[in-house]
Amino acid sequence: MRYTEFGKTGWKTSALGFGAMNLPGVPLEQARETLHYALDQGINYIDTAAGYRNSEEILGECISGRRDEYFLATKTNKRDYASAKEEIERSLKRMKTDRIDLLQIHYVNYPDEMKKIMSEDGAYRAALEMKEKGYVRFIGITGHRPELLARWIQKWQFDQVLFHLSLVQPFALDELIPAATRLGMGKTAMKPLSGGFVQPVEKAIRYPYSQDVHTTISGMVSIDEVKMNLAAMEREVEAEERAELEQLAGDLSVHDCRRCNYCSCPVGIAIPDVMISSVIRDKLGLLPKGMAFFEKNKEKILACAEHEPCRDTPLCEQKCPYQLPMQRVIQEAASFYG
């Protein structure tokens, strides 16, 4: 396993980070053995969030006894001072720890939200205050719009940034990662499998591993999944393979969707999932998760063509900051059903 200095934190982080988001979905004993196995294998970066159901409590229950062995990152999605402070205090209690190594302001996608967070009454002041008291060691930010994150990290002081980086979402490479590198920040990539749609799995994990990031968090819920992720990072990525992966990422990201979720569909179509999985389906075929997604959403996807209010001007397209042709993509996706 590769270990690198995580920005200016002084921590040497493992290239594979443990994403704890899905642990609430498995029995506690399975979560416990998976976490201990990951630590035993040298994974030393654990990522969760106050909003991931009882994930923080599971970490507290299962591994707080090994607290010095991992860098603990959590998140608050509160925007104002008082509720962010309350949530950080709750996270400390739930994770049975006296310090959070990294407190990330979670899922910031709109300029107005950022303004609120950085205002006198904003969440950033709560994080800073907790840092001054020693309960938080570093402050980071996460979001789904890499070009906005690139702007914000240059304007305000953050120690780390968390972003999508996968074969279907390589967009952080354009401005965000170079900016974070210049600033000496910790760089955390997330969702290498983009929720389970991307394949082949080994290439999907090796892609962020081949790029200029310190750690990639992968959601894991079993020892087998930890083994699979570790195996994909067993050897370094040489130049030829990196070029192949970059070519594949170029092919798989032609949908241009950032998963920012600015769009919403009155019919209930999960637009980013359709956009992204359609490209994978056309180029590589779908994994079982993708097949199940298309089966489950058949009626909704077919309903797009008939939705009267979108006939002249698609409602979703008016909200997309990237002016993407979602209606056309959704209707083309409907051809899957014959």
> Minimum Å distance from CB 76 to ligand SF4?
23
Least distance in angstroms from the C-beta of 297 to ligand SF4: 11
Measuring CA to CA, which residue among 250, 233, 156 is closest to residue 189?
233
Query: Of 21, 271, 279, 280, which one interacts with ligand SF4 (CB under 6 A)?
Result: 271
Question: Which of 73, 161, 326, 333 is in the footprint of ligand SF4 by CB under 6 A?
Answer: 326
**Contact with ligand SF4 (CB under 6 A): which of 3, 37, 110, 322?**
322
Q: Does 269 bind ligand SF4 (CB under 6 A)?
A: yes
Q: Would you count residue 307 as binding ligand SF4 (CB under 6 A)?
A: yes
The distance of closest approach from Cβ of residue 259 to ligand SF4 in the complex, given in angstroms and rounded to an integer, is 5
Asked if 310 interacts with ligand SF4 (CB under 6 A), we say: yes
CB-CB neighbours of 141 under 10 Å: 25
Tokens representing residue 190 in the block: 């997330």
Q: How far apart are CA 125 and CA 118, in angstroms?
A: 7
User: Taking CB under 6 A as the rule, does residue 38 contact ligand SF4?
Assistant: no
Q: Considering beta carbons, is residue 34 or 109 the nearer one to ligand SF4?
A: 109
Q: What is the DSSP letter of 238?
A: P
For residue 316, state whether it binds ligand SF4 (rule: CB under 6 A).
Answer: yes
49 lies in the site for ligand SF4, by CB under 6 A: no
Environment class of 125 (CB within 10 Å of its CB; exposed 0-12, middle 13-18, buried 19+): middle
Give the pair of three-digit tokens for residue 87: 């949530």
For position 171 contacting ligand SF4 by CB under 6 A, the verdict is no
Site string for ligand SF4, 248-267 (x = CB under 6 A): ---------xxxxxxx-xxx
Q: What is the distance, to the nearest Å, from the Cα of residue 70 to the centroid of all Cα atoms in its chain?
A: 19
Out of 23, 320, 333, 336, point to the residue binding ligand SF4 (CB under 6 A): 320
Distance of CA 50 to the CA centre of its chain: 15
Token pair listed for 217: 């968090």
For ligand SF4, the binding residue among 139, 180, 324, 333 (CB under 6 A) is: 324
Beta 3-5 vs 100-105: how paired, if at all?
unpaired
Rounded Cα gap, residues 333 and 278, in angstroms: 6
Q: How far is the CB of 315 from ligand SF4 (least distance, A)?
A: 4
HSE on the CB side for 61, CA within 13 Å?
A: 14
Q: Which of 305, 243, 301 is nearest to 274 (CA)?
A: 301
Q: Which residues bind ligand SF4 (CB under 6 A)?
A: 257-263, 265-267, 269, 271-272, 275, 304, 307, 310, 314-316, 319-320, 322, 324, 326-327, 330
